[in-house]
Chain A
Amino acid sequence: MNVSLLVSILASASVYAALATAVVLVYRANRVLVFHLAELGVLASYLMVTLSGEAGWSLPASFLAALAVALAVSVLVHVLVDHWGRPFGHFVGTVLTIAVGGILMGLIGMIWSGRTVRMILAEGRTDVFGEPISTNTLVVMGLCCLATVAVHLVVNRSRLGISMRAVANSASLARHRGIQVSRVLLVVWLLSGALGTIAGIGMASLSAVAMEGAVIGVSAIVAAILGGLTSLGGAIIGSILLAFGEQMVIVYVDPRYSQVVPILVLFTILVIRPSGLSGRTESVVRV
């Protein structure tokens, strides 16, 4: 395996890891599986491309603008799922995110009508272990890894993270102990929105983004499930495995079938070990 292939795998894995981390984060907090993150990422990247391209904004400024929009959407989703939707349970919450995903896709279609966008974050090549690697790929990898690691640190090492894990463990007890569950959930959604933005931009840089880019959402969910859905570390492992599998198929079989990999992986997991590699078996029903 050459360096270039390895970097490709790691870059894909880092994008998946960012999204999968977001999926696990939200799922642990309120048992909702988010289906709209990929669409959110696509929206953010379209926005960033338009702002930095046609509107002439600088890259950082357009990134921040895209991030702001994504965070605003996340706040709305929080209100929708955790406040209005609260009496109906997490199942309805999940379907609500499906609805949100549809709305986002519709908005994207309305505004940008199906254009494909590509965004190069950095030009040129860098030498890595003797091989020239696209700097863009390295930048994407770096950004996604940074974001993922940052979130992991927040969750595991900070006071806020303790609140988040407490809420994930038992929201009712958290309430008794004075934790403002609503605020914690809001933070979770904001983090997931940020991760989704970075992942979407990463994807737009690595390959290209079109309306169909939302398929990555499935891959992310699969990576998260592969890792057990309740474990952040598992999400990372799942992402790496998934990216590895996909790249192998792209290189040695047929690029078009790369999308089949996450699905085959998913079915395998569901049949053999629904709890994933490192998750708990609480949500698996044996009948």
Chain B
Amino acid sequence: MSTVEYVTRDLSVNYGKVAAVHGLSFEVPAGGALGIVGHNGAGKSSTLLALAGAVASEGTVRGHPCRSSARMDPGTRAGTARAGRPDEGISLALVPEREKVFGLLSVHENLLAVNAAPRPGMVGIDDVYGFFPRLAERRDTIAGNLSGGEQQMLAIGAALLQQPDILLADEPTLGLAVPVIEMVCERLAHIRRALGLTLIVALAETSWVSRLADRAFVLDCGERISGYIDASDGMREQLERYLSGESRDPSPAGAHPLRSVADPRSNGEAAHA
């Protein structure tokens, strides 16, 4: 596992003429957990996809330029995309928002399907069953017949099998009942501790951000509009203020130095440190 901070600078994702993400910069310390909060369509999924290497992006990650070509070509191993040069990799694994499991395969087959580069201290299928005993009970169930929470567990487990340094989770709590979300949050915390995993999680809803992340920022229309908001009692309120448009930082921490301070859209709020 890497001990280096994961730094992204000026990330941009364009689908044709549409800019889904623009000039995004942030950092995650190793072993930490970062939340990306924003409305639907704000660019959260695109950010995660870009980090995972599944879509073309511009900018730099850890000082190295991003993949600028949309190699959606079937030959790429997007799930274990390396940020920067192939030799010094950090591996990432994505838990997508939709289509997170192979619905036609059984639980065990879902785990077998993962193709991961061998590594010392590998997380194996048995480890995954150790993290999620419920999955072990349902080994031969067809994934499409699992409950929402079980599918989420399976998706996370499959991602773990890719030996990631960083786990990217897109809306892990979507559509789940509260007790199930509690369980997912608890499991994720446990796994993070056990594996020293870094987590970047995208959420549209603010209720669970403080449970999942150490700190978070807000994304709106592809741009970062807040500094880092630490997990604290007031986190939810602060996030809501940014989401509702009440607050907006003209130059949030970590933004591009060339960004104009006199942005006509700002309402004069001072940037968070």
Contacts and interface: CB of A to CB of B under 8 A. Distances in A.
Contact of B73 (A162, A165, A177, A182): A182
A166 B104 CA distance: 8
B39 interface: no
A277 interface: no
Contact of B54 (A86, A170, A176): A176
A82 B74 CA distance: 8
Contacts of A171: 74
Which secondary structure dominates where chain B touches chain A?
A: loop
A142 to B, nearest CB: 31
Contact of B113 (A82, A172, A177, A180): A177
A165 B75 contact: no
A177 B162 CA distance: 7
B79 A177 contact: yes
B181 interface: no
B159 to A, nearest CB: 8
Given A82-B74, A165-B102, A173-B96, A178 B109 contact: no
Interface in B52-99: 52, 54, 72-80, 93-94, 96, 99
A181 interface: yes
Given A82-B74, A179-B115, A162 B105 contact: yes
A178 B116 contact: yes
B105 A166 contact: yes
B114 A181 contact: no
Given A175-B78, A177-B79, A169 B104 contact: yes
A176 B94 CA distance: 7
B115 A162 contact: no
B73 A178 contact: no
A29 to B, nearest CB: 10
B41 interface: no
A180 B77 contact: yes
Interface string A150-175: 00000000010011011011111111
Interface in B94-125: 94, 96, 99-105, 109, 112-117
Contacts of A163: 113, 115
Output the residue of A82, A169, A172, A173 with the most chain B CB within 10 A. A173
B73 A83 contact: yes
A159 B115 CA distance: 10
B209 interface: no
B24 interface: no
Interface in A202-257: none
B197 interface: no
A185 interface: yes
B79 A180 contact: no
Nearest to A182: B74
B75 A174 contact: no
A181 B116 contact: no
Contacts of B78: 175-176, 178
Contacts of A86: 72-74
B152 to A, nearest CB: 14
A115 interface: no
A173 B74 contact: no
B103 A183 contact: no
Output the residue of A83, A169, A176, A185 with the most chain B CB within 10 A. A176
Interface of B: 52, 54, 72-80, 93-94, 96, 99-105, 109, 112-117, 158-159, 162
25 contacts: A82-B74, A83-B73, A86-B72, A86-B74, A162-B109, A162-B112, A163-B113, A165-B104, A166-B102, A168-B104, A169-B104, A170-B103, A172-B96, A173-B96, A175-B54, A176-B79, A176-B96, A178-B115, A179-B115, A180-B115, A181-B74, A182-B73, A182-B74, A183-B74, A184-B74
